Amino acid sequence: MTASATDPATPGTPDVPAALVDRARAWRHDLHRIPETAFDEHATADYAARVLDGLGYDVVTGVGGTGVVASLTRGSATRTVGLRSELDGLPITEASGVEYASTHPGAMHACGHDGHLAMLLGAAALLAEDGGFDGTVRVILQPAEEPGRGARAMLEDGLFARFGVDRLFGIHNIPGLPAGTLHTRPGPIMAGEDNFTIAVRGRGGHASAPHLVVDALVVAAEIVIALQHVVARSVDPVHTAVLSCTDLRTDGARNAIPTHATITGDTRSFDPDVSALLERRILQISQGVAAAHGAAVDVEYTHEFEPTVNDAGAVTLAGRAARRALGAAQVDVAAAPIMGSEDFGVLARHVPACLVFLGNGTAPGAGGVPLHSADYAFNDDVLAAGIAFSREAVVESLAAPTP
């Protein structure tokens, strides 16, 4: 049985039965073999739905495409809590060398979503078998996290209207942090991501006669250099922002000055006002440089990911749950935010929510390979920590007043 919500935090290893950790490891290895990319997670969703159905959950599939929502009620309380995981992998050819490697060419679980899902299934099993809560827990399995489309798809399909929750919790593993440690913070924890494309149109011609052309490559190069000053000279220093030009292509040749040049790039920020400033300055600089050279320019700026902003009350509950599950020395509730992005941010705009980082390890071969790498490997040694935290987060949230 789980400890009561009033027990003090005590150090120790996660109190998860070894047999359940073994089941979660087997689930993860099965899932790792069948990675599927955004909105094509049919086998993954079916696998998870079968497990949850076997655990006694009321399972609904096809939410927002391939999403799954499974609910379990104990007692008579009307409070609800959600635990969320992702379903999708990445379009990467695996080079991890594990014996349970991807059987789907060109697809891989290179972000650990298989681990997140296995931990959530483990917590679902523990909650179903041991109980210890009064209310309803909802397991929310989201498609298409990687492109930042799945959360919106589930919301548009009535996610919280059909399956209401009072609070929502999620886990993301982080290589480079000590294995099994948990890190979170109130407020912004992951950045929003915007993308931009700048298309320059000049007048190409022979490389021997540059005086007869409007060189799109020179214009694009000046735009790239000018954009490097935006964060340093346009963004208030107390705010955080990243602006990266990531690709520049032209239709030129060795002896031909190009007519067209295309710059693509990415910005990150935590504040919608900063995002709007970056968009405005990219447009102004691109138009100004192009005009100075007699060229034309088209700028497209798209908002891909919302910032992930943790609810302070949910963070308090998550910290309490983590200390009881993992021990106080393993928990940091004042962690630094990171500039990576997560589709969880869309869900966190609609309900009080908390995303936590779970350390995956620091050494290569033991969880330290970066996310989205072809040789990334989720560290099975952290499965128990994720299961224990998720179980305790449910107990804490359902024992707390409805927000």
Residues in the chain: 403
**141, 148, 138, 137: which is closest to 63 by C-alpha?**
141
Catalytic residue numbers, as ranges: 88, 145
> In whole angstroms, what separates CA 74 from the centre of its chain?
30
Average confidence (pLDDT) per 10 residues, the chain, 403 residues = 34 80 98 98 98 98 98 96 98 97 97 98 96 95 97 98 98 97 98 98 97 98 98 96 98 97 98 97 98 98 97 98 97 97 97 98 92 97 98 96 86
> In the chain, where does the domain assigned CATH 3.30.70.360 lie?
193-305
> In the chain, where does the domain assigned CATH 3.40.630.10 lie?
18-190+307-399
Determine how many CB atoms are found less than 10 A away from the CB of residue 333: 19
pLDDT at 23: 98
Q: What is the CATH number of domain 18-190+307-399?
A: 3.40.630.10
pLDDT at 14: 82
**Number of helices (H), then strands (E), in the chain:** 11, 16
pLDDT at 6: 34
CATH topology of domain 193-305: Alpha-Beta Plaits (3.30.70)
pLDDT at 364: 85
pLDDT at 13: 66
Calpha distance 120→141 (Å, rounded): 9
Report the predicted TM-score, pTM, of the whole model to 2 decimal places. 0.91
**84, 82, 67, 52: which is closest to 171 by C-alpha?**
84
| Region for 372 from its dihedrals, namely left if φ exceeds 0, alpha if ψ lies in -120 to 50, beta otherwise | left
Calpha distance 149→132 (Å, rounded): 35
pLDDT at 189: 98
